[in-house]
């Protein structure tokens, strides 16, 4: 099982690009989280560079007061879900309209009247 990189959950003020530390034989990336520098290390170059890109996106999102949420959906499916939610929202002011629609679709599929 691959070792997980150190999770960075707080406010990210600055990120230094990953560099290879020959004396330790590993990749090191420094992240200033909540005013303190944290070292993130990995022996896998691709993994730490990918994590650097993720943290950089998170830092930018924090700077403009938005949140990034991980999802298994593709970008086009996220857009479709947002569109579907907006359509449902126009027809129902209830907060749980999407959950009710999903539940109704599941019930219709069980009895065989839909898709």
Q: Show pLDDT as tens, one digit a residue, over the chain (115 residues).
A: 456 888 888 899 999 999 999 999 999 999 999 999 999 999 999 999 999 998 998 898 888 877 667 677 777 887 887 787 777 777 776 767 777 777 777 777 777 655 5
List, in order, residues 6 or more apart from 68 with CB less than 8 Å away: 57, 58, 61
Q: Which pLDDT does position 88 carry in this prediction?
A: 74
pTM score over 0.85:
no
Structure tokens at 98: 């999407």
User: Domain-by-domain residue ranges, the chain?
Assistant: 12-63, 75-111
Q: Which pLDDT does position 29 carry in this prediction?
A: 96
CA distance 18 to 113: 55
Q: Which pLDDT does position 14 carry in this prediction?
A: 94
């Amino acid at each position: 099982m691959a070792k997980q990189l150190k999770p960075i959950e707080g406010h990210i003020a600055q990120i230094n690009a990953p560099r290879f530390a020959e004396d330790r034989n590993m990749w090191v990336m420094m992240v200033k989280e909540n005013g303190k520098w944290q070292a993130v290390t990995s022996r896998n170059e691709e993994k730490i560079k990918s994590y650097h890109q993720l943290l950089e996106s998170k830092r930018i999102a924090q700077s403009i007061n938005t949140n990034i949420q991980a999802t298994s959906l593709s970008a086009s499916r996220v857009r479709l879900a947002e569109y579907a939610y907006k359509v449902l929202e126009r027809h129902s002011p209830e907060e749980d309209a999407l959950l009710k629609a999903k539940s109704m679709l599941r019930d219709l599929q069980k009895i065989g009247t839909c898709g």
